[in-house]
Structure formats: structure tokens, C-alpha cells
Amino acid sequence: MNEQTPLPLEAHGLRKAFRGRPRIDDVTFSVRPGRVVGLLGPNGAGKTTTIRLLLGLVSRDAGDALVFGVPYRDLERPPQQVGVVLDAGGLHPSRSGRQHLTMAALRAGVGADRVEAVLAEVGMSRDADRRAGTYSLGMRQRIAIAAALLGEPRLLVLDEPANGLDPAGMHWLRQKLRAFAAAGGTVLVSSHLLSDIQEIADDVVVITDGRVVAEATMAEVLADPSGTLEGYYLEVTGTEGMVR
């Protein structure tokens, strides 16, 4: 890669406080192209806030958040650059999955043919005309992932995308993310499912109490004496002694 080519994601000294209390404190990490990166941490560690800072959905108090070298708001045609899953519960209950995706395609400036393509890709073609209010959490999650894929982006940013997926859905998601990276795409995925992250991630970033406490390749993680991502995670987060 040319040294001048911007990285897909960069966080430099990000800080954010809510009601005067630091939530994110000097978060710095980068995501290289063609990699699946697991963003890990305990509940309340600041993972979702970090993602929202990277995407410009929350104003930062200090630091820089860059997507392909610029702030997210300065991207040209963002849906063709970044696909995002933040909340699978954001579907209007009276609209069908197809209607939701059709509206998202209009906003993204992509053709209607992409709606049918992503429905097939996430295995929702048969249920596309059902009202979203009748969907299970896993089905809503599949529609959210379909919406992220509409613009054929180069980068996926996914916050707990496996929530509600059954084993077949989780298997599909693992395969999809690895194939996406193999084709040159980049993925930042937040998850509590350490076994899944161990299978798919090339790198991990671990956040605790709003700070990055570890950034490593999966090869480095597995070379740790524990030999597993779970053991490494418990060690770097200081929670090893809390587990029986």
C-alpha cells in the first residue's frame, strides 16, 4: 500500500465526556485495509461511543476521527464508502423489510436492483414483504446488515451485529465478513462473542473504562500464554480473577 493512501479508520486521542464525566479518554487506534478488526470491551467500556465518534454521530471534545483520511461528514457519497449497523431495532414496525430497504436505497442513491440483491444475500427474500413488527430480532438484524450492504461499501462498521442471530445466521455472518475482507474490504466489528471474533478477526482492539488497553494482531493474541482470545481478553481487562 502506498504510504500516502489513507487508512479506512483512524482514531487519534479521542476524548468525550458526558455531564463532566469522561466517557472516552485518549482513544487511539487504526484499522488497516483488508482486515477484520474486533472492538472488544466490557459492558459500558465505551465501544459504542467510540463507534459513534468515528462516524460523527457524537461530537468529540478532543482528538480526530478519520474515515479514509477525512471526517465522516466530509466523505463523498458515504453509503458507497461505509456500511453501518448500529441498531437493529430501528425498523418501522408497519413497514416491510423491502420497503425499508427501498427507502434506504433512495437515500443512498443506489438502484432498486440492489434491494433484491441484498435481500438475497442476507437470506430475507422470502420474508421481505412481511411487516417489520412481525420480525424476530435476528430477522431485523439481517435487514439492518442488508441496508449496510446496499451501497457496496469498502468499509463495514458493525456494532454487535450477531445479536439475535441463530447459529445458522451467525455462521453466515462469519463467512460474509471473512469474504468481504478477502475481497479487499475492511470491517470494524464490536462484539461480546469472543469465540466468533477469534474465528474471524485479524486484529483486536480492547477498550476498558474508555481507554484502549490493548491493540494486537490475532496471531499475537494466540501466541499469548493463554492461547485463546478469551484468556487474553480477561488478562488485559483485569477481569481474569472475576471468572471462576
Structural domain for 104, as ranges: 92-152
Which grid cell is 91? Answer: 425498523
Query: For the whole model, what pTM was predicted?
Result: 0.92
Q: Quick check: is 1 in a domain?
A: no
Residues 159 and 236 placed together within one structural domain of the fold: yes
Dist CA 101 CA 135 (whole Å): 15
Dist CA 241 CA 174 (whole Å): 30
* 174-226 pLDDT, tens digit each: 999 999 999 999 999 999 889 999 999 999 999 999 999 999 999 999 998 88
* 44-73 pLDDT, tens digit each: 899 999 999 999 999 999 999 999 999 999
Residues 96 and 212 placed together within one structural domain of the fold: no
Q: Can you give the CATH number for the domain in which 177 is found?
A: 3.40.50.300
Single residue among 133, 152, 171 that ends a domain in this structure: 152
Residue 110's contacts (CB-CB under 8 Å, 6 or more residues apart) are 79, 80, 150, 151, 152
* 5-40 pLDDT, tens digit each: 899 999 999 999 988 888 899 999 999 999 999 999
Q: Quick check: is 59 in a domain?
A: yes
Residue whose grid cell is 457524537: 58
Single residue among 106, 132, 152 that ends a domain in this structure: 152
